[in-house]
Amino acid sequence: MEIHQLQYVIEVAKHRHFTHAAEEICVAQSSLSQQITKLETELGVKLFDRTTRTVHPTTAGAEFIVHAQEILSKIETAQQCMQAHVGLTKGTINIGAITTLESIDFVSLITSFHNSHQGLYLNIVTSGSHRLAELLRTSEINVALLTPPASAIPDDIEFYPLANDEFVLITSSDHALAKKGTIDLAESVSENFIFPSPHESIYNIYSSACRDAGFTPNIVCQSSHCETSLALVGVGMGIALFPLDMVLSRKQPNIAIVRLSKPIIKHVALAVLKRSYQPPAVTAFINYVLSQTSHKLSTLK
Say if pTM beats, i.e. exceeds, 0.75. Answer: no
The residue type at 3:
I
In a domain, 289, yes or no: yes
Which residue ranges of the chain lie beneath pLDDT 70?
A: 83-87, 89, 294-301
Task: Write down the pLDDT at residue 57.
Answer: 92
Task: Write down the pLDDT at residue 299.
Answer: 37
| Cα 263 from Cα 166, distance rounded (Å) | 7
* Domain at 251, CATH number: 3.40.190.290
| Cα 164 from Cα 40, distance rounded (Å) | 50
- How far lies 278's CA from each of 81, 270, 272, 274, in Å? 9, 15, 9, 9
Domain range for 176: 165-266
Instruction: Judge if 145 and 294 occupy the same domain.
Output: yes
| Cα 53 from Cα 40, distance rounded (Å) | 21
Task: Write down the pLDDT at residue 294.
Answer: 56
* Domain at 115, CATH number: 3.40.190.10
Query: 135: how many CB neighbours lie within 10 A of its CB?
Result: 16
Instruction: Judge if 135 and 284 occupy the same domain.
Output: yes
| Cα 23 from Cα 61, distance rounded (Å) | 21
What is the number of residues in the chain? 301
Q: Kindly report, residue by residue over 164-191, the tens digit of the pLDDT.
A: 888 899 999 999 999 898 999 999 999 9
Q: Kindly report, residue by residue over 57-94, the tens digit of the pLDDT.
A: 999 999 999 999 999 888 888 877 776 645 676 778 99
Task: Write down the pLDDT at residue 296.
Answer: 40
Instruction: Judge if 65 and 194 occupy the same domain.
Output: no
Query: 44: how many CB neighbours lie within 10 A of its CB?
Result: 7
Task: Write down the pLDDT at residue 44.
Answer: 93
Task: Write down the pLDDT at residue 83.
Answer: 66
* Domain at 12, CATH number: 1.10.10.10
Strand pairing partners for 27? none
| Cα of 117 vs its chain's centroid, Å | 23
| Cα 276 from Cα 299, distance rounded (Å) | 9
| Cα 61 from Cα 47, distance rounded (Å) | 4
In a domain, 75, yes or no: no
Instruction: Judge if 59 and 125 occupy the same domain.
Output: no
| Cα 106 from Cα 192, distance rounded (Å) | 31
